[in-house]
Amino acid sequence: MSEFKSLAGLHAAVTGGGSGIGAAIARSLLQAGARVSLLGRNAERLQAQAELLRELGPVAIQIVDVSDEASVSQAFAALGAVDILVNNAGQVQTAPLQRTSLALWNEMLAVNLSGTFLCSRAVLPAMLERGFGRIINVASTAALTGYAYVAAYCAAKHGVLGLSRAMALEVAKRGVTVNAVCPGYTETDIISRAVDTVVSKTGRSADEALAGFAASNPQGRLVQPEEVANAVLWLAQKSSAAMNGQAIAVCGGELM
C-alpha cells in the first residue's frame, strides 16, 4: 500500500514516536505519503528520530506530556489539523497487586488511558468537521487478556479498548473510525527492561528471560515493531472505512 502514496496529503500524529513501535509506525506512514508529527516528552530522542526519518518525507516534532491536559491542548493547537492520530505513547511497570501503590496505579492509568482520551479529544472536533479521520490506539494483548504482576497496566489497556469502542460508535456516521491494535510481546525497549527485571529478580539469564517472553507467541518469537506498523498503516487507509471499533491482535496467534 505504501508504495502508492495512499496517504498523500494527510497529516499523521504519532505519540511516543521517538522510538520502538512509534518510530516504526511513523516510518510506515511517511512511506505511504503522509506528513508526520512525532510527539513525546524527550526532545533529544524525538529530534534524533526525526533526522533519521526526514529522507522519507516531512517530519515535525512536538513535545507533549500526554497525561497532562494543558500540555496536550497546547501541543495539538501547535500541530494544527490532524487526519490520522496514533495513540502509541505508553508505559508499563510491574508489581504484584498487593504491592501496587496508588501512585503506580494512577501513573499507569494517566499515561496509557487518560493520555489516549486527551489526545483523541483534542483531534476529534476537526476530524468531524472535515468528515474524515482515523484514530488508531496502540493497546496491547493486555487489553484482551490478563497478565500477572501488571494489573494496573492491564486495567489501563482494557480501558483503552473500551474507550476505542465507545468512540467508534459515537463517530460511526461521521467519516471517522476508531480502532485498536493490540501487539503481543514486541522487540522494543520495554521488553529489554522487562528482561532486566526478570534477570534481577529470578537469577535467570537474559537469554532465558527473553525466551520466556517469546514462548507466549505460538510462533516462538517476539513481534517486530514493523509488523505492528503494518497493521496501523492498514487501518489508516481511506479504503479501510469499514474497520471501526475493532481490536486487531498482532501476536502470532497468542490470542484467537
Q: Is 253 left (phi over 0), alpha (psi -120 to 50) or beta?
A: left
C-alpha grid cell for residue 130? 472535515
Catalytic entry in 147, 149, 153, 185: 153
Distance, in Å, from the CA atom of 144 to the CA atom of 255, rounded to the nearest integer, reads 8
Residue type, 22: G
* Cα–Cα distance measured from residue 102 to residue 20, given in angstroms and rounded to the nearest whole number: 28
Q: Is 133 helix (H, G, I), strand (E, B) or coil?
A: strand
Which residue type sits at 200?
A: S
CA 71 – CA 61 distance, rounded (Å)? 14
* Known catalytic residue at 185: no
Alpha-carbon span 175 to 252, nearest angstrom: 31
Grid cell, residue 112, equals: 496509557
Cα(95)–Cα(148) distance, rounded to whole angstroms? 9
- 84 vs 7, 36, 175, 228, CA distance in Å? 10, 9, 12, 16
- Please tell me what DSSP assigns to residue 251: S
Looking at residue 2, what DSSP letter applies?
Answer: G
Which are the catalytic amino acids? 153
